[in-house]
Amino acid sequence: MSRTKWILTITGVVIVALVLWRILSSHGGTAQAGPGAGTPVPVTMVPAALQNVPTYLMNHGTVTPINTVNVQPQVGGELMKLDFTEGDPVKQGQVIAQIDPRTLQGELDQATGKLQQDEAQLETAKANLERSSNPKYAPYVAQIDRITQRNKVLQYQAAVAADNGSIRDVRVQLGFTSITSPIDGVAGIRQVTPGNVVTTGSTIVTITQMHPIDVLFTLPGKYLDEVRSAQAKGPLSVVILNASGGVIEGDGVLKVINNQIDQNTDSCQLKAEFPNSDNKLFPGQYANVRLELGVQTGVLVVPAAAVQRGPDGDYVWLVTSKKPAGRALAGGGVRHIGTAAKGDHQRAQYVTMQVVTTGGEAGDTGQIITKGLKSGYVVVATGQFRLKEGSRVTPMEPGEASALPASIEAKTPQKRNGAREQ
């Protein structure tokens, strides 16, 4: 082989070696730059703290009136007039409609005439019986005639009693021609118009009671004992929240816990009552219900945003001063791995996935932890989307936001709500 060919061969080998070296170097640098290996991930760190907080249970419910009445006539006839305005309040006993009473008035007159006739016949029968029983005429009256006269008296007494019963019945029917509201409430849209002939199956209007009003909601069956124990200590407060968490109606009281759990959903139905003096609650309205069980003292609280949902249940990213060798213990056990303390932000820090058991919410942004953490342990509150087991982390400055790439944002799971909702 000539000298020139040797030079070209050596040059090609050197070039290939340089290219391979650059490729391998590039891959190695990329690996080192990933979270947990090289570049620290900026996150917000918050220490778990003991607090005195009210315990809440939340779920969705439906506003349900205590009483709803479909007003139907008890007698048929022509509807002469309506004495209410659609959508306006009505009082119990208020006349809201009038049916033509003339037919029933005629029946009452007939029954009254029949009574007078039978009363006259009764007086005659009594007089005949009295004369037949007189000692002056008794020898001249056959025994069978006295028995017959006595039976006529009984017959006309029964007729008079029947006439009085008929009169009372017709008077009751006549009273039904004036239709009154059976409850205090709000009149709905009328279903008939004056001039129509109505029957006992016709609905004139639906009246709904608005004060007070009920809200029906459900809670998981696992909280039933907790709710019953809290109720045994005193009335439990219930509030209705809007979509932003603001209070719509805040003076409700838990009234009823249903006597069975739905086997299909493992949930129990509850009923709360609200005065609804401002008419903010409307029948059929969807409601966000928050039930307060009481105030817990010295409970462990972390930000609700710190609690994530995983395949093994709830977990948090626990900040440690030593790189963890493996995953956190399942079931909420905490390993002593040099957990970072509050204010310990200068040394190199890492994160490990720690399974926790949650309780109720603490205020609007807090979450109670019943198992898996201790007071002072530092958890990640924001920035979890870039973390994995053993990632290095660095605290963000107040108000600083961690950039979220679009490719990662599309894969980021939703944060778990801090309230116990089902």
Q: CA–CA separation, 292 vs 421, rounded Å?
A: 13
What is residue 1's predicted lDDT score, i.e. its pLDDT? 54
Q: CA–CA separation, 272 vs 65, rounded Å?
A: 11
What is residue 148's predicted lDDT score, i.e. its pLDDT? 84
Q: Is residue 55 a contact partner of residue 418, using CB atoms and an 8 Å limit? A: no
What is residue 323's predicted lDDT score, i.e. its pLDDT? 80
Domain-by-domain residue ranges, the chain?
A: 39-52+298-409, 58-66+210-297, 72-207
* Closest residue by Cα to residue 392 from 7, 34, 40, 18: 40
- List per-block mean pLDDT (blocks of 10 residues) for the chain, which spans 422 residues: 69 74 55 53 90 86 95 95 95 96 94 94 88 74 79 92 95 95 95 94 95 95 91 93 89 94 92 94 94 86 90 89 62 44 59 87 81 91 87 75 44 42 48
CATH of domain 39-52+298-409: 2.40.420.20
Q: CA–CA separation, 61 vs 287, rounded Å?
A: 5
Q: Is residue 311 a contact partner of residue 347, using CB atoms and an 8 Å limit? A: no
Fold equal for 39-52+298-409 and 58-66+210-297:
no
Q: 41-47 and 392-395: which strand pairing? A: parallel
What is residue 296's predicted lDDT score, i.e. its pLDDT? 79
Q: What is the dihedral of CA 162, 167, 173, 177, to 10 degrees?
A: 170
* Closest residue by Cα to residue 360 from 421, 313, 415: 421
For residue 186, give both structure tokens. 């709000």
Sign of the dihedral through C-alpha 292, 297, 300, 305: positive
Q: Quick one: 255 exposed, middle or buried, by C-beta within 10 A (0-12, 13-18, 19+)? A: middle
Q: 213-220 and 49-65: which strand pairing? A: antiparallel
CATH topology of domain 72-207: OB fold (Dihydrolipoamide Acetyltransferase, E2P) (2.40.50)
For residue 415, give both structure tokens. 């944060």
Q: Is residue 234 a contact partner of residue 253, using CB atoms and an 8 Å limit? A: no
Q: How much is the pTM?
A: 0.60
Question: Secondary structure of the chain in the HEC alphabet?
Answer: CCHHHHHHHHHHHHHHHHHHHHHHHHHHHHHHHCCCCCCCEEEEEEECEEEEEEEEEEEEEEEEECCEEEECCCCCEEEEEECCCCCCEECCCCEEEEECCHHHHHHHHHHHHHHHHHHHHHHHHHHHHHHHHCCCCHHHCCHHHHHHHHHHHHHHHHHHHHHHHHHHHHHHHHHCCEEECCCCEEECCCCCCCCCEECCCCCCEEEECCCCEEEEEEEEHHHHHHHHHHHHHCCCEEEEECCCCCEEEEEEEEEEEEEEEECCCCEEEEEEEECCCCCCCCCCCEEEEEEEEEEEEEEEEEEHHHCEEECCEEEEEEEECCCCCCCCCHHHCCCCCCECCCCCCCCCEEEEEEECEEEEEECCCEEEEEECCCCCCEEEEECHHHCCCCCEEEECCCCCCCCCCHHHHCCCCCCCCCCCCC
* Closest residue by Cα to residue 82 from 242, 170, 205: 205
CATH topology of domain 58-66+210-297: Elongation Factor Tu (Ef-tu); domain 3 (2.40.30)
271 CA to centre of own chain: 8
What is residue 255's predicted lDDT score, i.e. its pLDDT? 95
What is residue 397's predicted lDDT score, i.e. its pLDDT? 63
* Closest residue by Cα to residue 72 from 176, 208, 146: 176
The angle subtended at Cα 349 by Cα 345 and Cα 350, nearest 5°, is: 145
